[in-house]
Amino acid sequence: MVRAGTSFGKAGQDHAPVDILEKTSDTLRYMAEAGCTGFDCSEKTIGIVNNLDRNLSSAVDDLKELRNLIGDCQRCKLCKERTNIVFGTGDPDAKLVFVGEGPGHDEDQKGEPFVGKAGQLLTKIIEAMNLTRERVYICNIIKCRPPGNRNPAPDEIKACFPFLERQLDAIRPDFICALGTFAAQTLLDSDEPISKMRGRLYDYRGMKVMPTYHPAYLLRNPEKKRDVWEDMKKLISLMNT
């Protein structure tokens, strides 16, 4: 399903022409899928147009509802040492969602994903794709920081994963980029190493998943940046077809 863009028809917002064209084309495709066959003034067409904003806001509402449901989560032991729950950030109507592993120290402090060193590298990757953090959505497999940045434990992933599932259901992106072993293996229920999975396209409940190396791994192994760039180029070209 193609959803209409987030801000089509809203006045007072400053968009680059390419953004406006992209959102207009999304909206037209969305209208066609909703049954609009032309530009007439029939009640059906007017109904579709009038409902656009309602449909647009549903991903936002679903995410807000989900955040409320998580509340001051005590569902696993990570609640004891966390400072903030790191829910996710970006465009609720994004076509591309990046899923990482879990918050580190900086994210825990700020309550926002990927804001530390690895996050700065992720931001550069996103910008090299000609996108911005605001146009994609960024979240993690688990929403609370494991103490000392240890790997998430299976019971922690099990407690948190239903929230990621609902988050992805609310956004329904066309593509998910799974960052690193935990994201790829958890989303795809696989135990294949990330080195085998990266650069290939998988299905997660109708959404296409491209696993690649985690930015923190790239900080330790800069020679792998080339592989990630190859994966991202593939992703860009798939997104543009």
Binding positions for ligand URA, rule: CB under 6 A: 100-104, 107, 113-114, 116, 118-119, 140, 216
Our CB check for ligand URA shows the closer of 58 and 89 to be 89
Distance CA 200, CA 194 (A): 10
For residue 237, the number of C-alpha atoms closer than 13 Å in the C-beta half-sphere is: 7
CB of 100 to ligand URA, least distance (A): 3
Our CB check for ligand URA shows the closer of 36 and 139 to be 139
CB of 230 to ligand URA, least distance (A): 21
**φ/ψ bin of 162: left (φ > 0), alpha (ψ from -120 to 50), beta (otherwise):** alpha
- Give the pair of three-digit tokens for residue 168: 């992805």
CB of 122 to ligand URA, least distance (A): 8
Distance CA 218, CA 227 (A): 10
Our CB check for ligand URA shows the closer of 4 and 66 to be 66
CB of 155 to ligand URA, least distance (A): 18
Our CB check for ligand URA shows the closer of 102 and 199 to be 102
Q: Residue with the closest Cβ to ligand URA?
A: 100
Within 10 angstroms of residue 83's Cβ, the number of other Cβ atoms is 14
Within 10 angstroms of residue 112's Cβ, the number of other Cβ atoms is 18
